[in-house]
Structure 1
Amino acid sequence: MTRKIAPYPGAAGGWDALASSFRHVREQGIVGRGARTLLRANQPDGFDCPGCAWPDRNPQSSFEFCENGVKAVAAEATRRRATREFFATHTVSELSRWDDYSLEAEGRLVEPMAYDPADDKYHPIRWDEAFSRIAVALKTLDHPDQALFYTSGRTSNEAAFLYQLFVREFGTNNLPDCSNLCHEASGLAMTEQIGVGKGTVTLADFEKAEAIFVFGQNPGTNHPRMLGELRSAARRGCRIVVFNPLRERGLERFADPKHPLELAGGSTPIASHYYPLRIGGDLAAVKGMLKRLLERDALDHEFVARHTQGFDALREDLLAEDWSLLEAESGLSRAQMEEAADVYAGSGATIVCWAMGITQHRHAVATIQMLVNLLLAGGNFGKPGAGACPVRGHSNVQGDRTMGIDEKPSPEFLDRLGEAFGFAPPRQPGHDVVGAIGAMARGECRVLFAMGGNFAAATPDTAFTARALRQCEMTVHVSTKLNRSHLVHGRQALILPCLGRTELDAQAAGPQAVTVEDSMSMVHLSRGTNPPASEHLLSEPAIVARLAEATLPASRTPWRWLVEDYDRIRDRIAEVIDGFEDFNARVRTPGGFRLPNAAARCQWNVPGERARFVVHPVPRTAAPGAGLMTLMTIRSHDQYNTTVYGLDDRYRGVSGERRVCFISAADLARLGLAAGQWVDIVSVWHDGEREATRFLLVEHAIPPGCLAAYYPETNGLVPLDHHAERARTPASKSIPVRLRPTRDLGAALSP
Structure 2
Amino acid sequence: MVDIEQPKKKAAGVPAVLSSFKFGLREMGPARTGKVFAKMNQDGGFDCPSCAWPDPDHKRKHAAEFCENGAKAVAWEATRKRVPRSFFAENSIDDLFRISEYELGKLGRITEPLLLRAGADHYEPVGWDEAFDVVARHLRALDSPDDAVFYTSGRTSNEAAFLYQLLVRAYGTNNLPDCSNMCHESSGTALTRVIGSGKGAVTLEMLEEAELIVVVGQNPGTNAPRMLSHLEVAKKHGADIVSVNPLPEPGLMNFKNPQRPSGWVGKGTALADQHLQIRIGGDQALFLAVGHLLLEAEAAAPGTVLDKEFLERHTSGYELYAKHNAELDWPAVELATGLSRAEIEQFTQRFLKSKATVICWAMGLTQHREAVATITEIVNVLLLQGNIGKPGAGPCPVRGHSNVQGDRSMGIWEKMPESFLERLDNEFAFTAPREHGVDATATVQRLREGSVRVFFAMGGNFAMATPDTAVVHQGLRACDLTVQVSTKLNRSHTVTGREALILPTLGRTDHDHTAAGPQSVTVEDSQGAVHLSTGNLVPPAPDLLSEVQIVCALAQRLVPDVGEIPWSDFAKDYSLIRQRIGRTCDGYENFEDRLRANEGGFLLAHAARDHREFKTSDAKAQFSVNDLTWLPTEPGRLLLQTMRSHDQFNTTIYGLEDRYRGVHGTRDVVFVNPADLDELGLRDGQLVDIVSEFAGVERRAPGFRLVSYPTARGCVAAYYPETNVLMSADDVAKESNTPVAKGLTVRLEPAAS
Question: For the superposition of Structure 1 and Structure 2, which TM-score range results when normalised by the shorter chain?
Answer: over 0.9
Amino acid aligned to 1:19: L
Among candidates 707, 732, 739, match of residue 723 of structure 1: 732
Provide the residue aligned with 1:286 in structure 2.
Answer: 287
361-370 or 227-236: bigger deviation: 227-236
1:610 paired with 2:633, answer no
More deviation, 293-302/121-130: 293-302
**Equivalent of 2:316 in 309, 315, 327:** 309
Secondary structure, aligned partner of 1:357: helix
Contact 2:9 2:253 in 1 (8 A): no
Candidates 509, 517, 536, aligned match of 1:510 = 517
Deviation at 1:319, TM superposition (A): 1.3
Give the Cα separation in 2 of the matches to 1:568 and 1:93: 44
- The Cα shift of 1:627 comes to 2.4
Q: Which residue of 2 aligns with 1:261?
A: 262
Instruction: Supply the RMSD in Å over aligned alpha carbons.
Output: 1.1
Letter in 2 for 1:720: A
8 Å CA contact 1:441–1:469 kept in 2: the answer is no
For residues 318 and 10 of structure 1, the distance between their equivalents in structure 2, rounded to whole angstroms, comes to 38
Q: Kindly provide the amino acid, as one letter, of the partner of residue 621 in structure 1.
A: L
Q: What SS does the aligned partner of 2:107 have?
A: coil
Alignment pair present for 1:580 and 2:588:
yes
Q: Secondary structure at the match of 1:684?
A: strand
Instruction: State the SS of the aligned residue for 2:215.
Output: strand
1:592 corresponding residue in structure 2: 601
Residue 636 of structure 1 corresponds to which residue in structure 2?
645
3-state SS, counterpart of residue 54 of structure 2: coil
8 Å contact from structure 1 (residues 441, 471) kept in 2: no
Q: Deviations over 1:379-402 (max 9, x none)?
A: 001111111100001110000000
2:123 aligns to what?
A: 122
Answer yes or no: is 1:349 the counterpart of 2:356: yes
| Aligned residue in 2 for 1:471 | 478
Contact kept in structure 2, 1:235 and 1:268, CA below 8 Å: no
Kindly provide the CA deviation profile for residues 502-547 of structure 1, in whole angstroms up to 9, marking residues without a partner as x: 0001111101000000001000000001000111211000000001
**Structure 1 residue ranges (4+ consecutive) displaced by more than 4 angstroms after TM superposition:** none
Q: What is the match of residue 747 of structure 1?
A: none
Residues 84 and 124, structure 1, Cα contact 8 Å, conserved in 2: yes
- The answer to whether the 8 Å contact 1:30/1:77 transfers is no
CA deviation map 1:523-577 (0-9, x unaligned) = 0000001000111211000000001011113133110111211000000111111
CA contact (8 A) 1:683 1:689 kept: yes
Offset of 1:119 from its aligned partner?
Answer: 4.5
Q: CA deviation at 1:44?
A: 1.1
> In structure 2, the residue corresponding to 1:108 is in which secondary structure?
coil
Number of aligned positions between the proteins = 742
Kept in 2: contact 1:438–1:468 (CA 8 A):
no
Contact 1:30–1:74 (CA under 8 A) maintained in structure 2: no
Q: Distance in 2 between matches of 1:119 and 1:451?
A: 24
Q: Answer whether contact 2:595 2:601 (CA < 8 A) is retained.
A: yes
The match for 2:43 is 44
| In structure 1, distance between residues paired with 2:452 and 2:546 | 27
- Superposed CA deviations along residues 187-221 of structure 1, whole A, max 9, x for unmatched, are 01001001010001111102211010111000000
Distance 2:560 2:215 in 1: 51
Structure 1 letter corresponding to 2:441? V
Q: 1:470 deviation in Å?
A: 1.2
Q: Is the CA contact 1:352–1:371 (under 8 Å) kept in the aligned structure 2?
A: yes
Query: What is the CA-CA distance between 1:229 and the residue it aligns to?
Result: 0.6
CA–CA distance in 1 between the matches of 2:632 and 2:381?
A: 23
Instruction: Give the letter aligned to residue 12 of structure 1.
Output: A
Listed as ranges, the matches of 1:47-86 within 5 Å are 47-59=46-58, 60-86=61-87
Task: Give TM-score scaled by structure 2 length.
Answer: 0.97
Matches within 5 A, 1:192-271: 192-271=193-272
Does the 8 Å CA contact 2:281/2:630 hold for their aligned counterparts? no
**Partner AA of 1:458 in structure 2:** A
Identify which of 681, 684, 690 aligns with 1:681: 690
Q: CA deviation at 1:118?
A: 4.3
After TM superposition, give the deviation of residue 241 of structure 1 in Å: 1.0
Pair 359,10 (structure 1): closer, same or farther in 2 beyond 3 Å: closer
Counterpart-to-counterpart distance in 1, 2:362 and 2:739: 14
Within 2, Cα distance between the matches of 1:116 and 1:610? 56
Work out whether residues 189 and 197 of structure 1, in 8 Å CA contact, stay in contact via their aligned partners in 2.
yes
Structure 2 residue ranges without an equivalent (≥5): 299-304
Deviates more, 1:53-62 or 1:637-646: 53-62
2:34 paired with 1:35: yes
Specify which of 490, 497, 506 is matched with residue 499 of structure 1: 506
User: For residue 712 of structure 1, what is the aligned residue in structure 2?
Assistant: 721
Q: What is the rounded CA distance, in whole Å, between the counterparts of 1:189 and 1:557 in structure 2? A: 35
For residues 225 and 586 of structure 1, the distance between their equivalents in structure 2, rounded to whole angstroms, comes to 26
Q: Report the alpha carbon displacement of residue 687 of structure 1 after superposing the two structures with TM.
A: 4.2
SS at match of 1:740: strand
2:192 maps to amino acid: T
CA contact under 8 A between 2:158 and 2:410: conserved in structure 1?
yes
What percent of counterpart residues are identical? Answer: 51
**Could you tell me how far apart the structure 1 residues matched to 2:505 and 2:28 are?**
21
* 1:287-686 map, 5 Å: 287-297=288-298, 298-555=305-562, 556-588=564-596, 589-600=598-609, 601-623=611-633, 625-686=634-695
Rounded Cα–Cα distance in structure 2 between residues aligned with 1:541 and 1:687: 46
Aligned to 1:749: none
- Compute the TM-score of the two structures, normalised by the length of structure 1: 0.98
Moved more, 26-35 or 384-393: 26-35
Structure 1: tracts of 5 or more residues without a match: 745-751
Contact 2:508 2:535 in 1 (8 A): yes
Distance of 2:26 and 2:687 partners within structure 1: 31
1:697 paired residue among 691, 700, 706: 706
Q: Is the 8 A contact 1:100 1:483 kept in 2?
A: yes
Instruction: Tell me, in whole angstroms, the C-alpha distance in 2 between the residues paired with 1:8 and 1:247.
Output: 9
SS of the residue aligned with 1:214?
strand
Cα-to-partner distance string for 1:577-620 (whole Å, 9 max, x where unaligned): 12222211212313211111011121011122111000111113
